[in-house]
Amino acid sequence: MEYKIPNHVAIIMDGNGRWAQKRGLKRTKGHQKGAEALKKISEYAYDKKIKVLSVFAFSTENWKRDKEEVDFLMNLFLKAFKENFEAVKKKGVKVIFSGVKDKLSEQVIDSMEKMMQETKNNTNGIFNICLNYGGQDEIINATKKISKDVKEGIIDCNDINPDLFNKYLFNDLPPIDLLIRTSGEYRISNFMLWQMAYAELYFTDTLWPDFDEKQMDKAIEAYNNRDRRFGGVKK
Ligand code: FPP
C-alpha cells in the first residue's frame, strides 16, 4: 500500500508546564524547550513534504495565566520569530497567523507582520501559527463577515456552502488530515473546529518538549493505518 503523507497536520503542543514541573524547573523553561521542539518538528515536517502545518501557540483563554508566564510566552514568540523561523523561511515556507490582534503588543504584531511579508511569495509549504486564537471565535468572525456581505448584496444567501465559508475564516486553508495532541489529554480545546471536521485524531502521552522526529513518524504511521471514508462506505 502507498505510504500517505498527510497534506495538513495540526498540533496542539501540550505539556510544556508539566515537563518543567517534573524536573523541578519553572513552567517557562518548559515553554522554552517547547519552542526548540517546534523548530525541529516544523523543519522535519516540511522535509517530509507535509504542505501545511498548523500549531496552537496561544489560545484566547491563555491570557488567564500568570502575567509572568504570559509575558514570557510573548517574548519567546518574538525571539522565535526572529531566530528559529529563519530555517523555515529558507525552506521556502509561507508563514501565516490565525487569531485576533486585540491584547497583543505592537511589538508582537509588527513581528508577525514582518514574518508574513517576508514569506508571502513562498510556495513550498504553509506554516500557520494560531496565536490569540479560538475556534468558535473564528467561526463567529466568519459568520459576521458573511452576514455583512449578504446584507450588502455581495453574496447571495443561497451561495453559502462549505467552500465559501472556508474563504471567510482567518485563512483559507485545506482541511486538516491529522491532528496531533501531546501530553495525554483527549480534548480538542477549541482548536480549528471547522477545519477538523474529518481529521484523524492522534493522541500521545509524550509531553510536547519531548516530541521528536521519531514521534512524528509514529503519528504519520498511525495515520497510514486509518481507514478514511469521509462518511462513505469502503468499496
Ligand atoms: C501548552 O502547554 C503550551 C502552550 C500554551 C504554549 C505553546 C508554546 C510553545 C510550544 C512555544 C513555541 C511557540 C512558538 C509559536 C514559537 P501547557 O503550558 O498548557 O502545559 P501543561 O498542560 O503541562 O501546563
Residue 24 three-state SS? coil
* Pairing label, strands 200-203, 125-133: unpaired
**How open is the CA angle 9-10-13, to the nearest 5 degrees?**
130
Q: Does residue 205 carry a catalytic annotation? A: no
Report the nearest atom of ligand 1 relative to the CA of 59.
Answer: 5
**Residue ranges lining ligand 1, Cβ < 6 Å:** 13-18, 31, 34-35, 38, 57, 62, 76-77, 80, 129, 183, 208
Q: What would the pLDDT profile of 99-140 be if each residue is shown by its tens digit?
A: 999 999 999 999 999 999 999 999 999 999 999 999 999 999
The pLDDT tens digits of the residues spanning 85-103 come to 788 889 999 999 999 999 9
Q: State the DSSP H helix or E strand holding residue 125, giving kind and residue range, or none if neither.
A: strand 125-133
Pick the atom of ligand 1 nearest to 129's CA. Answer: 15
pLDDT averaged over every residue in the chain? 96
Under the banding of pLDDT at 50, 70 and 90, the label for residue 182 is very high
Q: Please report the pLDDT score of residue 44 as a whole number.
A: 96
28 Cα–ligand 1 center, Å: 9
Distance 27 CA to ligand 1 centre (A): 9
Q: What is 8-134+175-224's CATH number, 2.40.10.10, 3.90.45.10, 3.20.20.10, 3.40.1180.10?
A: 3.40.1180.10
* Residue 52 contacts residue 8 (beta carbons within 8 Å): yes
Is pLDDT of 231 > 90?
no
- If one residue of 13, 70, 131 were mutated to test the ligand 1 pocket, choosing by the most ligand atoms within 8 A of its CB, it would be 13
What spatial distance separates the first Cα and last Cα of the chain, rounded to whole Å?
Answer: 16
> E strand or H helix at 129, and its extent?
strand 125-133
For 32, the grid coordinates are: 522554552
- Domain assignments of the chain as residue spans, ordered by start: 8-134+175-224
22-75: pLDDT as tens digits: 999 999 999 999 999 999 999 999 999 999 999 999 999 999 999 999 999 999
Whether the predicted model's global pTM rises above the 0.75 cut: yes
Mean of the pLDDT values across residues 202-226? 97
Longest CA pairwise span in the chain (Å): 59
Share of the chain above pLDDT 90, in %: 91
At 230 the pLDDT is 84
Residue 16 annotated to the active site:
no
SS3 178: strand
Q: Which of 7, 62, 122, 166 is catalytic?
A: 62
